[in-house]
Amino acid sequence: MSHPVPIRFLPVDPEALAGAPGRIAVVVDEAGKLGGAGRRLDRLMKGALARFLASEAFTALKSGESAEIGWPVGLAAESVQVVKLDRKADATAARKAGGTVGRSLARAGTLVLAETQRNAADLSFGLALRAYDFTPHKTGEAKTPGPVSLMVTDPEAVAAEAGPMAALAEGVFFARDLVNEPANVLTTYDFAARLAAMQELGLEVEIIEEEDLEKLGMRTLLAVGMGSESPSKVVVMQWMGGGDAPPLALIGKGVVFDTGGVSIKPAGGMEEMTMDMGGAGTVAGVMRTLALRKAKANVVGIVGLVENMPDGRAQRPGDVVKSMKGDTIEVINTDAEGRLVLADVMWYAQERFKPCGMIDLATLTGAIIIALGHENTGVFSNNDAFCEGFLKAARAEGEGAWRMPMGEAYDAKLKSRIADMMNVGGRDGGSITAAQFLQRFVKPETPWIHLDIAGTALLKSDTALAPKGATGWGVMALNRLIKDRYER
């Protein structure tokens, strides 16, 4: 498992600058004003830092961007990275600035001079997130970065503020690792085992096998995995740190690989379907975070782990399956399998735990990418207050989310001639009809949010806080929601 780079918080020590190896990153406000250690650094560099701060090149930098001064005279460091961060920058901007440092840590070590920064903890968090690197399947010498230190005016206070963020970074990394793993490694067996290992953190973890899933009536979930050699499983994770309050339920789609089944996908890009368990990965990352920071909240995370493969035993278009709720579903397209998994898991969560609210996450539809691109997750809900609470949390954490419409008019597209409903409703409004399908498995008294993360779980390009690949989207927003609304 990947772990965030360790970061030490040190008092400002101008005398340590000359001999610092590797890289020095100095954070400077838009006015180019330096603190005492920064002025010492400039003197060691024979005024080179001040000349750069007075140049058009520094003025042209946007907040969070940086420039390099290579092999600076007077220093042991191989480079000085000048990071611009506006004086009034918020936590999101500070994290972006930290990400600028984290993308190019030196093997000999990195010293970040952040003496004048009020959001130093957030800066360190952004650094840790961007330094993520998924390397377990690469051979050769690992390019591990050297020690990272932040010089700040009050290291004890900054370290205390950064503590919960370190737990959050662990959760994000766990989610990213799960999404990045190839499907021949992250089978349903391996996925369940990794979740079970979190019992050592204090989570209560239960694995429900196929025989018991059949007894529970989870036949829509089981139908998805009939063509796979990997058995379907449901994993229940409980963190009960909030007394007797009813839990918040997080539900994750965990399709460890999605060929589309008999309705097979085109070959081009199918390799990315290792990420079709992204919803389950996010749920796992949130549960890990809650356990690590000992959250005073009750949360249950339930993930349905299946593999959608074509086989002589696989379900066919035209099959009718019966859900745990009792509704029958005509399977029009076996590639619309995620909603079949979620339907049973959502109903099970409500029947067993009577949650105060329920949030499902799934890489559910390509249609949401057409609607929102890769900048925002699609948000659907039956409860305005619950939804606004989540959107507020997502904004606070800088994770893009946009509420989408729902309505009874879309239900007509799901009508079946031979069953209670079809599992798809056509191409137009595809993400909305998928949400309407899921809503049929939400009890009227349950506040519910559906998050379609198909466009945000894995990206083909770098972002401010992640290299290309898995993003861990949603771990931060859901952790913030729980912290703000459910911790006692």
- Alpha-carbon span 383 to 358, nearest angstrom: 11
Cα–Cα nearest to 176, from 473, 398, 401, 396: 473
Distance CA 251, CA 303 (A): 6
How far is 118 from 88, CA to CA, in rounded Å?
9
Active site residue 480: no
- Cβ 120 vs Cβ 157: under 8 Å: no
Helix (H, G, I), strand (E, B) or coil at 112: strand
DSSP codes of every residue in 147-180: -EEEEES-HHHHHHHHHHHHHHHHHHHHHHHHHH
Does residue 210 sit in helix, strand or coil? helix
**Tokens standing for residue 42:** 């400039």
Question: Among the options 39, 103, 219, 265, which is catalytic?
Answer: 265
Catalytic residue among 84, 96, 233, 339: 339
Task: Provide the 10 A C-beta neighbour count for residue 35.
Answer: 21
Which H or E run includes 124?
helix 120-130
Helix (H) or strand (E) holding 248: strand 248-258
* Runs of H (alpha helix) within 379-474: 384-397, 430-439
Edge-to-edge strand list for the sheet holding 66-70: 7-11, 148-152, 110-113, 23-28, 79-84, 66-70
State both tokens at 3.
Answer: 């772990």
* Cα dihedral 373/374/375/381 (nearest 10): 80
Which CA distances in Å does 90 have to 80, 86, 397?
Answer: 24, 9, 11
Concerning whether 88 is annotated as a catalytic residue, the answer is no
Would you please indicate which residues are annotated as catalytic (active-site) residues? 265, 339
